[in-house]
Structure formats: structure tokens, C-alpha cells
Structure 1
Amino acid sequence: MHLPPNYNSTALIAKGGKRLQHFYLGSFEIAYAKIEGDMIVCAAYSHELPKYGITVGLTNYAAAYCTGLLLARRLLNKFGLDKIYEGQVEITGDEFNVESIDGQPSAFTCYLDAGLARTTTGNKVFGALKGAVDGGLSIPHSTKRFPGYDTESKEFNAEVHRKHILGLNVAEYMRLLMEEDEEAYKKQFSRFIKNGVTSESMEGMYRKAHATIRENPVHEKKPKREVKKKRWNRAKLTLGQRKDRVAQKKASFLRAQAAEED
């Protein structure tokens, strides 16, 4: 009996960097297991986000949401389901689940594998999960690990979650730090300042990115660079060159011998 693949949405927060600049890159993958190993069906990475207008903050919750959204739209586009399952376009932060539509192919269902990531409330893994669900993937989950869930009252505040998705929590901290310590603000948000990202433009940046991701989630392969192969071994000498080389060595030896006798 042949069983269909059991897809896992694998959320990884992997350490990476460029030269001396070390930071965390988020990757979100859809994979299924085979005897020879996991087979990756589709993947999205936070270092792709600058293409969609997000040039800073690639490690925060809002960026993780965008990466999950990118994965979902890319995967559904790959299987021709992107027009059928659009997901949750309006950002509410509230619970949303994708259900299969009658007369259409079933919703793409997968399950979260957080790997070694700590599944604490507000972890970026759940930001990626929320982005994937809002993007149209069916992933069983609850709101208990989203920002805004109160473990004491057992209540979920969707507005708090919405602010995290749109980076408004970062924007609020930027304003607070600017008022309290301008030097610390300039130091901590130097890359934001350099790229012209302010607390006022934060929400617009993410909303624009969400729309752009939905318009074109397809991964563009980089053209292969033409690499000129270099050979460092000595070039072969012709017969004439070898004979001339021997003659030169012989003459040099004879001169040295004559000098010693004198």
C-alpha cells in the first residue's frame, strides 16, 4: 500500500553571517521524510526579504511572519493552488484556519516541526507558522503560543499579535528609546536610520511587503557565473625547449667547475 507523504513545515532559526557580521537567518521549509532522508518540497529564507522591501530587522517576529507567508504563497503557486487558497489577506492577528473548498483540490496540509527551537510563547517559529497559515496552508495550531496570549487568564489578545506581525512593537520601542536616550537609539537602530526606516514607516513597510509577496512569490534563480578555470601546473616543454634547457644547465655546470679550478 502506498501512503501519501506526510509533510512537515520545518521552522529553523539557523545561525549565519557574512564575514564579520553575524546574525540569525530564518528559514522555513516544507519537507517529507523518505528512507534516504528528508525531501525538501519548497523553502523560503529571510535573506530574500530585501527583494520585497524589508531591508532591516530580518531576525524579528514580523520578518518571520513574512518568511512564512512567502513560503506558503510560493508552495501554493508551485502546485497551482494559489488562486484557490488565498488565505487571510487582512492582518488581524486573530486565529485563522484554512479549510478545503468543495469541488476543489484539498487544502495543502502540513505539520509544524520546530526542531531544536524553544517553543515558548512569542517565539519567532510561531510567527513563521502564522504567516504560512495566513498564506493559505493548513497547519493545525492554537493561539496559545502567539504573542498576546495570557497564560493566567487563558485569553488571547489578537491586537497584540497584530502589532507584532506589523512590527508595531518595534516601532513603539524605537519611539520610547528615542525619547529616553537618543545616543542609544542611534546606536541600536543605526541600520534602520541608514535605510530610512522610522517608527512611522514601519507598518507601511511590512504591509507593502505582504502585498508584494502575494504578487510574486516565485524564487528567481541567480544566473550561473562564468568561472575561468586556472591551471597552476607547469606548462609542458617541447623537445627543443627541453634540449635547450639541458644545454644551459650543462654550460652552467662547466662554468662553475672552471671557476673552482682557477
Structure 2
Amino acid sequence: MAQGSNYKVPFRRRREGKTDYAARMKLVDYDKSRLVVRLSNAHATVQVIDYAPEGDITLASAVSKQLANYGYLGGASNTSAVYLTGYLCAKRALAKGVDSAILDIGLKSAIRGSKVFAALKGAVDAGLDIPYGEAVLPDESRINGEHIANYAESLDDDEIAKLFSKYLERGLQPADLPKNFEETKKNIDEAEE
């Protein structure tokens, strides 16, 4: 009788480092929607997803690129943008009758104060009921961009032009980021009611 190899090839998405199937199965076992936060170098995507045997169903979605439609002029991947993306997604989910979810951060490490928790804070502030611990959330000054404004104030004009060229192209002085953040949040509230 011939003996074969006992080696089992992992699923393709596991080999590519895209899916942790053990963690996913734990999340899918709950009878709740998932607030899925995915970050790239350039953008953030936040979705509210329900599990179905034939495939996941996206109930609401927001991408940080969409923040420009609400007047946001800052970077699309900073902590402020991730918070606002979570806020926008939660507003859209609430409009579709979803009132609670659980956080799904995928393969990201759960580091206190990280961007994934900024998206969580945005969703909770918008009214979505998500279980979490206060200790993991980023500081309010990081969420509204005060740390960027303070850093920009310590620079001279040449350094600002070099480091914040994209902000300046969009017509935003880095010191005005907290004000632009609040205006964008207000615009989302008005548009998504």
C-alpha cells in the first residue's frame, strides 16, 4: 500500500496573507454584522458586512476617497481620514437599519491607538453599537488632526511647502486641519441624515 504525503496546501488567500480563516470563523459564528476596516498606504475602506453561506453581503461601505465630496482636504490615509471614513460608513449603515456590529480588523495587529481603532471610534460616535474597551482608542487630538497642526506650526515655510505639498495643492494649510475635520464631520451629518 502506497503512502502519500501528509502535507496539506493552505487555501490561496491564506498563502497570500490575506485571510486568517480561524479568526474569520470566530467572527462569522456571531449573529451580528461585522464592521470591516481595511487600510492601504493611500486609503481606508470601512464596510458593514453580513455573513451568508453563498457569500458575504455588504450592507454599507465608505472609502476615504469619498471624503472629498464632503469637503475634506487632508490626506486620505491619516488618522483623521480613517475616523471620518468609519463615521460615514456607520451613518450609511444606520440609514439601512443596522444598529450594531462587531469589529473585524483582518490581519492588522490590535495596537492601542492605531488607525483601525480610529475607524471604530468614528463608527461608535456616529451611533453604531460596537463592543470595545476605551483603552484602545486613539487620543482625541490625534483623531481631529491637532498633532499635525502642532507639528506644522513648528516648521518654517520651506519645510511646510516640502512636507505638506499635497495639502497646499488642495488649498489646506496644515494648521487648519482640525477646523477642516470638524467641518467635514458636520457636512457628513447634514448629508447622511
Scaled by the length of structure 2, the TM-score of the pair is 0.79
In the alignment, which residue of structure 2 is the partner of 1:167? Answer: 145
CA shift, 1:11, in A, is 0.5
In 2 relative to 1, CA 206–115 (structure 1 residues): closer, same or farther, beyond 3 Å? same
Q: Looking at secondary structure, tell me which structure has more helix per residue.
A: 2
Aligned to 1:44, what secondary structure does the other structure show?
strand
CA-atom RMSD in angstroms: 2.0
Q: Which position in structure 1 is the counterpart of 2:160?
A: 185
Residue number in structure 2 paired with 1:102:
none
1:19-58 alignment, distance < 5 Å: 23-58=41-76
Larger radius of gyration: 1
* CA offsets 1:6-34 (integer angstroms, 9 cap, x no match): 211011113xxxxxxxx421000111212
The one of the two structures with greater contact order (alpha-carbon pairs below 8 A, sep at least 6) is 2
Q: Provide the C-alpha distance between the structure 1 equivalents of 2:89 and 2:146, rounded to a whole number of angstroms.
A: 23
Question: Residue 68 and residue 6 in structure 1: after superposition, are their counterparts in 2 closer, same or farther (change >3 A)?
Answer: same
Change (3 A) 1:217 1:170: same
**Match runs of 1:1-262 below 5 Å:** 5-14=31-40, 23-79=41-97, 108-147=99-138, 161-176=139-154, 178-179=155-156, 182-217=157-192
Q: Which amino acid aligns with 2:179?
A: G
Q: Where does residue 10 of structure 2 map in the other structure?
A: none
% identity of equivalent residues = 30
Q: Secondary structure at the match of 2:67?
A: helix
TM-score, normalising length from structure 1?
Answer: 0.59
Aligned 8 A contact 2:148 2:175 in 1: no
Structure 1 residue runs of 4+, over 4 Å off?
Answer: none
Gaps of 5+ in 1: 15-22, 80-106, 148-160, 219-262
SS for the counterpart of 1:55 is coil
Q: Secondary structure at the match of 1:24?
A: coil
* Matched position secondary structure for 2:141: helix
Unaligned 5+ runs, structure 2 = 1-28
